[in-house]
């Protein structure tokens, strides 16, 4: 059933699942009005999902609603921010109420979990495009940034790498999994932002980023912003059984090193604070893997179990190059 733009907004988006006291005025006027508490900084980030580029056309709308918000919350997680508000710009080929119902359910349930209130947006007709902007709060000066890594820092990640990439290969029939478990597909379609860990690392991590474009690319951003380099030990990368098997069979490290969409955090801490970081992360439900060190020479080096440098082909930069 086709709905007008106003019917669509009022039916699916104007009754927020979360009602926050710091929202002076939510959906319905020309602007939302929000209160940022004194002494806090506003962390703002935006991400777009485009059909056929960021997700296949037959992706379940409920998982899209979840993922559109999750990838944005992941950016807040990487800064250590606490999420507060979101806006949603939806471009839809037609107003399909079944699709919208499922999409808004996926969005709302993640929003409820992290007390995020949807406070506005825009709705237009055109090729499917989902843009979410999130706003989070941070004590002034406390954000985890990309530019604070120092030589000697230890590098950690919050969870297994390459699962989303492997699920995508399997969905595209480019690789046959021995046991295509639903868990792997969850990692691609229902990523969970590492918000609790990010927040718990404030004051401990010297640099942080979320892994959306692959470990080498994203750690590369930390290295560049901080004016340092890094050396990784491949044997220490946390891998699911599926990804470990893939690497063993193909000798190709591109999934854990260069495939995107995992949304784990990568960060650096001074060695003296390693166990503190470990405890905080555990309390936030995360087992850290210590995968390497920050050093002076620019660039990211990957050492094999035999201490050899991994060759560029096995790093897989080209294979997973992002548009
Ligand atoms: P305007 O013409 O002033 O931009 P709109 O008609 O686009 O207003 O939107 C009316 C209200 O509905 C605004 O408060 C806007 O923020 C909200 N809104 C529109 N689309 C969405 C959406 N997809 N999700 C959430 N809020 C929306
Ligand atoms: Mg508008």
Confidence of residue 323 (pLDDT cuts 50, 70, 90): very low
pLDDT tens for 165-185 read 999 999 888 888 876 566 888
Phi, psi of 280 (to 5 degrees): -60, -45
- Calculate how far, in angstroms, residue 122's C-alpha sits from the geometric centre of ligand 2: 5
Mean pLDDT of 39-65: 95
pLDDT tens for 269-278 read 999 999 999 9
Confidence of residue 5 (pLDDT cuts 50, 70, 90): confident
Q: For residue 194, count other CB atoms closer than 10 A to its CB.
A: 27
Nearest to 159 by CA among 59, 77, 48: 77
Give CA–CA dist 96/59, Å, rounded: 15
Nearest to 74 by CA among 288, 264, 278, 266: 264
Give CA–CA dist 157/198, Å, rounded: 11
pLDDT tens for 228-284 read 999 999 999 999 999 999 999 999 999 999 999 999 999 999 999 999 999 999 999
In DSSP notation, 236-295 reads GS---HHHHHHHHHH---HHHHH------EEEEE-GGGHHHHHHHHHHTT---EEEEEEE
pLDDT tens for 86-121 read 999 999 999 899 999 999 999 999 999 999 999 999
Atom of ligand 1 nearest to the CA of 90: 23
Mean pLDDT of 24-43: 96
The protein residue with its alpha carbon nearest to ligand 1, atom 21, reads 121
Confidence of residue 311 (pLDDT cuts 50, 70, 90): confident
Structure pTM? Answer: 0.94
Ligand number, closest to the Cα atom of 103: 1
Confidence of residue 10 (pLDDT cuts 50, 70, 90): confident
Q: What is the mean pLDDT of the chain?
A: 93
Q: How far is CA 175 from the centre of its chain?
A: 24
**What does the block give as tokens for 144?**
């985890």
Atom of ligand 1 nearest to the CA of 88: 24
Q: For residue 6, count other CB atoms closer than 10 A to its CB.
A: 10
Question: Position of tokens 């999994």?
Answer: 177
The protein residue with its alpha carbon nearest to ligand 1, atom 2, reads 30
Q: Which residues line ligand 1 (CB under 6 A)?
A: 9, 13, 27-30, 88, 90, 118, 120-123
- Calculate how far, in angstroms, residue 252's C-alpha sits from the geometric centre of ligand 2: 47
pLDDT tens for 126-164 read 999 999 999 999 999 999 999 999 999 999 999 999 999
- Calculate how far, in angstroms, residue 92's C-alpha sits from the geometric centre of ligand 1: 14
- Calculate how far, in angstroms, residue 5's C-alpha sits from the geometric centre of ligand 2: 10
Residue 82, pLDDT > 80, answer yes
Residue 317, pLDDT > 70, answer no
pLDDT of 99 = 95
């Amino acid at each position: 059933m086709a709905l007008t733009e106003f019917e669509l907004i009022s039916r699916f988006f104007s009754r927020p699942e979360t009602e926050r006291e710091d929202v002076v005025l939510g959906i319905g006027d020309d602007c939302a009005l929000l209160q940022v508490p004194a002494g806090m900084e506003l962390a703002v980030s935006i991400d777009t999902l485009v059909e056929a580029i960021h997700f296949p056309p037959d992706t379940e709308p409920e998982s899209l609603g979840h993922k559109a918000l999750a990838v944005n919350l992941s950016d807040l997680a990487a800064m250590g921010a606490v999420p507060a508000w979101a806006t949603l710009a939806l471009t839809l080929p037609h107003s399909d109420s079944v699709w919208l119902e499922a999409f808004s359910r996926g969005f709302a349930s993640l929003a409820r979990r992290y007390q995020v209130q949807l406070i506005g947006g825009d709705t237009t007709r055109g090729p499917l495009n989902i843009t979410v902007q999130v706003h989070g709060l941070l004590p002034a000066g406390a954000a985890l940034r990309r530019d604070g890594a120092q030589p000697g820092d230890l590098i950690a990640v919050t969870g297994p790498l390459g699962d989303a990439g492997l699920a995508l290969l399997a969905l595209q029939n480019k690789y046959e999994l021995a046991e295509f478990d639903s868990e792997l597909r969850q990692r691609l379609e229902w990523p969970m932002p590492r918000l609790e860990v990010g927040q718990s690392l404030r004051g401990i991590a010297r640099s942080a980023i979320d892994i959306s474009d692959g470990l080498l690319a994203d750690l590369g951003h930390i290295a560049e912003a901080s004016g340092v380099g890094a050396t990784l030990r491949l044997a220490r990368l946390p891998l699911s059984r599926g990804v470990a098997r893939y690497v063993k069979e193909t000798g190709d490290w591109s999934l854990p090193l260069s495939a995107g969409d995992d949304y784990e955090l990568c960060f650096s801490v001074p060695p003296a604070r390693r166990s503190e970081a470990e405890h905080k992360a555990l309390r936030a439900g995360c087992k850290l893997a210590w995968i390497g060190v920050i050093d002076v020479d620019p660039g990211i080096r990957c050492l094999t179990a035999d201490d050899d440098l991994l060759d560029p082909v096995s790093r897989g930069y080209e294979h997973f190059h992002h548009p």
